[in-house]
Amino acid sequence: MIYYLSGLQQIPEELYESAEIDGASAWQKFMKITVPLIKPTTVYVLTISIYGGLAMFTESYMLFNGNNSPNNMGTTIVGYLYRMGWEQNQIGLASAVGCVLLTIVMVINVIQLKINGTLGGKREE
């Protein structure tokens, strides 16, 4: 919410005033001014949220007293990486899991950036 509050505070009031003079409704001001100008903030929030969700480790580690959840139901991909690398001393497998995690995160973020038009979009001139 702090990111969105900061993004909203960066939108100049003059844009809303000029839209009001032109007869724009509140919905039109929101859709034509607020949404496009808050797009960089949205892209940033989505990116860090995706990363945060996939990199979750501490919560499950603390909740299940290490990586010892019943039937491994609480094990995250980073928890699995930790288990293989440190607890079972299979550094090669842990490295491979880390590379797969990196690839998954990169693919998800590239798809998200394409959908938002940030990556490979048409440039306005």
Whole-angstrom distance, CA of residue 21 vs CA of residue 16: 9
Which pLDDT tens digit goes with each residue over 80-114?
A: 898 899 889 999 999 999 999 999 989 988 898 88
pLDDT, greater one: 69 or 80: 80
Structure confidence at residue 123 as a pLDDT band (50, 70, 90) = low
pLDDT, one tens digit per residue, over 19-60 is 999 999 999 999 999 999 999 899 899 888 888 888 888 888
* Dist. CA 5–CA 88, nearest whole Å: 45
pTM: 0.69
3-state secondary structure of 89: coil
